[in-house]
Copies of this chain bind each other. A is one copy, B any other.
């Protein structure tokens, strides 16, 4: 029997053919009461000219979490953003070039912190508002069961240009649908929405409610929302009153500050 050292010396990773591994980042933000997603226009084949989710190859010396952080820093110029793994897409034909499996991540970025090259030719990027995604049920097999209409949701660009999920590159419509459904499902029992706050140490409950409404795609009852948030967070000391807002129209709102849990969970 060989020793562990001998084994490691004899081990040849090239004996198997390996797929490419990429990390795709769904960079979401909330602006003007709408959930929006950062897409980039592809300037190479395949799907040249189509809009796509930003991504990149996983380097050998970084975890997928690290790669996601790196890519969002490169693409949106922002660090210390809430990132969460969504799903790993691995259908055989999803990339026409070669075998590519993609680990998809959701990033929740406050609109004010987002930086991207809106106009530049080389790497054109734009925020698209998302509408028309229905069915909040959690799909256990995102790559199976492509229902008709799965890709029929609407994306509205910065100049009002409208495309649908079918106009996107690769299987990115499927990924976006999965992401929105996941966000909706987790909204009520996680801190997801807080990741979109411009300043978590000073926000109003109206601001937080508008984020929830943008993600869900429908309005919420104001009183019930306040009651629920205060019960879930204020009693536990997760949010705290910080004094009144100033210089706004109407009654000034109470400002709150939010405390992240150590691991970002619940």
Contact with B along A233-266 (1 / 0, CB 8 A): 0000000000000000000000000000011111
Interface of A is mostly: loop
Q: A18-B18, A90-B58, A92-B63 are in contact. Are A263 and B140 (CB under 8 A)?
A: yes
**Structural contact, B21 and A19, CB atoms closer than 8 A:** yes
User: Which of A4-12, A27-35, A114-122, A123-131 is found at the contact surface with chain B?
Assistant: A4-12
User: Which of A41-49, A73-81, A156-164 is found at the contact surface with chain B?
Assistant: A41-49
**Structural contact, A63 and B143, CB atoms closer than 8 A:** yes
Residues from 44 to 61 in A contacting B, C-beta threshold 8 Å: 44-46, 48, 57-58, 60-61
Q: A64-B101, A96-B8, A97-B8 are in contact. Are A265 and B48 (CB under 8 A)?
A: no
**Bound: A62/B143 CA distance, A:** 13
**Bound: A263/B103 CA distance, A:** 22
**Structural contact, A140 and B190, CB atoms closer than 8 A:** yes
Closest to A23 in B: B90
A17 to chain B: which residues have CB within 8 Å?
A: 60
A139 to chain B: which residues have CB within 8 Å?
A: 263, 265
**Bound: A151/B92 CA distance, A:** 35
Closest to A62 in B: B92
Residues from 143 to 193 in A contacting B, C-beta threshold 8 Å: 143-145, 186, 189-190
How many whole Å from A115's CB to the nearest CB in chain B?
A: 25
A144 to chain B: which residues have CB within 8 Å?
A: 65, 263
Decide yes or no whether A85 CB sits under 8 A from chain B. yes
Q: List 6 extra interface pairs beyond A13-B97, A139-B265, A141-B265, CB under 8 A.
A: A16-B57, A18-B20, A63-B92, A64-B88, A65-B90, A88-B103
Contacts A/B (CB < 8 Å), 24 sampled: A2-B45, A7-B46, A8-B97, A11-B98, A13-B97, A13-B98, A13-B99, A16-B20, A16-B57, A19-B58, A19-B60, A21-B21, A60-B99, A61-B92, A63-B91, A63-B143, A64-B90, A65-B90, A84-B141, A101-B103, A137-B265, A137-B266, A139-B263, A139-B265
What is the interface of chain A, defined by CB distance below 8 A to chain B?
2-4, 7-8, 11, 13, 16-21, 44-46, 48, 57-58, 60-65, 84-85, 87-88, 90-92, 96-99, 101, 103, 137-141, 143-145, 186, 189-190, 262-266
